[in-house]
Amino acid sequence: MRFGKTFRSLKYRNFRLFFIGQGVSLIGTWMARLAIPWIIYKWSKSSIMLGISGFVSQIPTLIFSPIAGVVSDRYEKLRLLLITQIAAMCTSFLLAILVVLYTKNIYSVIAFGAVFGVINAFEMPARQSLLIRMIDEERDLGNAIALNSLMVNATRLIGPALAGAIIAGGGEALCFVINGVSFLFVIASLLLMRLPQEKKAGGKLKMRKDIQDGLLYVARTPILLNTFTILTAISFMGALYTVILPPFVEDVLMRGPGTFGALVGASGAGALAGATVLASLDLTAETLSRRVLPTSSLVFSIGLILLSISRTLYLSMTFILIASAGFMFVLAGSNTLIQTVTDDEKRGRVMSLYAISFMGVVPFANFIGGWLGTHIGVAYTIGTAGILSLIVTILSMPKNRCLKVAMEQNKILDNGSETMKDSL
């Protein structure tokens, strides 16, 4: 089976199975993520309850990810991933039953959202760490990660659109049933995989010490520390500006829901474009560290600054598309770089920090974004986010010696187009 350069990772059977199964499952996941806030607002008619629901569903990533990283390093990642998928499937079916009973118990729905958050906290490090074992050649890791990002963003467009039609025709409970069924596809794909033996962390399990070891490993590896600095800043600013897009449309552009939909669509298009372009490239760790991450961070920052001074729809769509493409390059590029230079025995703990940097900051960014938007204005808030991310990017631009130190510490051989680590 032949694939083009952009989709070259699909030539590997294990990754192809995962791509298909996870793709179907994510459609159901995005349907459920739309249905939960919809039903909470339908039952409560309260924006505050929506905010509480969002916070409760996101905060488990910050709390449980360090523990999840240790668990991922200590136990078989494939088995852990299967357990999380089965748990998520059962949770979705139980939520469907709750909605069918029509109890109007809002706090129960919020609690289910928290359960999904805990499951996701354990699922994400295991899934991200497992990607490298789904491909036969490490040089295609970046392509696999980019294709995974492409899949996430494509299903993010499909899932909510289907959910809207299903809620209108069959009710919210049907979304949760479909989500539950969709997990069967990714479970089947995981069971059909034939993965190489993985290397687990040795010694006796000591949760606090293992977490500290993971933190020290990142802190003492300049290229990782630098990458996490950029990733955390960009993720925070990205979540900050996203939460105030509705008031930006209404108060700055003086438009309505149609314009908001257009901006969200432009954001999705930018993310898809960024993931597609990144998938077509063959990048080394050095190129990612010295060029791709700083450049894409600058693109994101400038996109936000330009958006803050835009007062027309088409310019705003253009600037959001640019910022979203840069944002996607930062996420997928940093993921690739982190996994390339990370020791296999610490991969779960390091990827749990990736989850925190990417998703754990969202609740706080949403709160701060809402507060700043109210007190200094929406446009100034977006501009401030762009300027701050620009400052962090400039200060964090990696130096050649940082990469050399990291390569010596992790025993990486970087031969032009191929980056390999001798511990794998």
Q: How many CA atoms lie within 13 A of 281 on its CB side?
A: 19
Q: Virtual CA dihedral for 101, 107, 109, 112, nearest 10 degrees?
A: -120
pLDDT for 385 equals 96
Q: Of how many residues is the chain composed?
A: 424
pLDDT for 55 equals 87
Helix ranges (H only) for 244-377 are 245-247, 257-280, 285-287, 293-309, 313-341, 347-355, 362-375
The tens digit of pLDDT for each residue in 33-54 reads 888 988 888 888 876 787 788 8
pLDDT for 201 equals 56
- The full 3-state SS of 326-352, as one line of letters, equals HHHHHHHHHHHHHHHHCCHHHHHHHHH
Specify whether the CB–CB gap between 99 and 39 falls below 8 A.
yes
Q: In 10 A of CB 332, how many CB atoms?
A: 27
> What region does 196 belong to: left with phi over 0, alpha with psi -120 to 50, or beta?
beta
Three-point CA angle 297, 303, 305, nearest 5°: 105
**Cα 190 to chain center, whole Å?**
20
Question: Distances from the Cα of 238 to the Cαs of 216, 226, 374, 383, in angstroms?
Answer: 27, 18, 18, 12
pLDDT for 367 equals 86
pLDDT truncated to tens, each residue of the chain (424 aa)? 556 788 999 999 999 999 999 999 999 999 998 889 888 888 888 767 877 888 899 899 999 999 999 999 988 999 999 999 999 999 999 999 999 887 788 899 999 999 999 999 999 999 999 998 999 888 899 999 999 999 998 998 888 888 888 988 888 999 999 999 999 999 999 999 998 877 665 567 788 899 999 999 999 998 899 899 999 999 999 998 888 888 899 899 999 878 888 898 899 899 999 999 999 888 888 888 888 999 999 999 999 999 999 999 999 999 999 999 999 999 999 999 999 899 988 999 999 999 999 999 988 898 898 889 889 999 999 999 999 999 999 988 755 445 555 555 554 434 433 443 333 3
Specify whether the CB–CB gap between 413 and 332 falls below 8 A.
no
- Nearest residue to 325 (alpha-carbon basis) of 274, 275, 272: 274
pLDDT for 2 equals 53
E strand spans, 29-83: none
The tens digit of pLDDT for each residue in 208-236 reads 899 999 999 999 998 899 899 999 999 99
- Tokens 């063959």, residue located: 282
pLDDT for 277 equals 92
Specify whether the CB–CB gap between 293 and 223 falls below 8 A.
no
Specify whether the CB–CB gap between 90 and 184 falls below 8 A.
no
Report helix, strand or coil for 413. strand
The yes-or-no answer to whether 1-190 and 206-415 have a common fold is: yes
pLDDT for 71 equals 92
pLDDT for 415 equals 42
pLDDT for 197 equals 75
Tokens, residue 360: 């754990």
pLDDT for 424 equals 32
Q: How far apart, in whole angstroms, are the C-alpha atoms of residue 35 and residue 250?
A: 24
pTM: 0.86
- Report domain extents, the chain: 1-190, 206-415
CATH number of 1-190: 1.20.1250.20
Which strand (E) or helix (H) includes residue 392?
helix 378-396
**CATH top class, domain 206-415:** mainly alpha
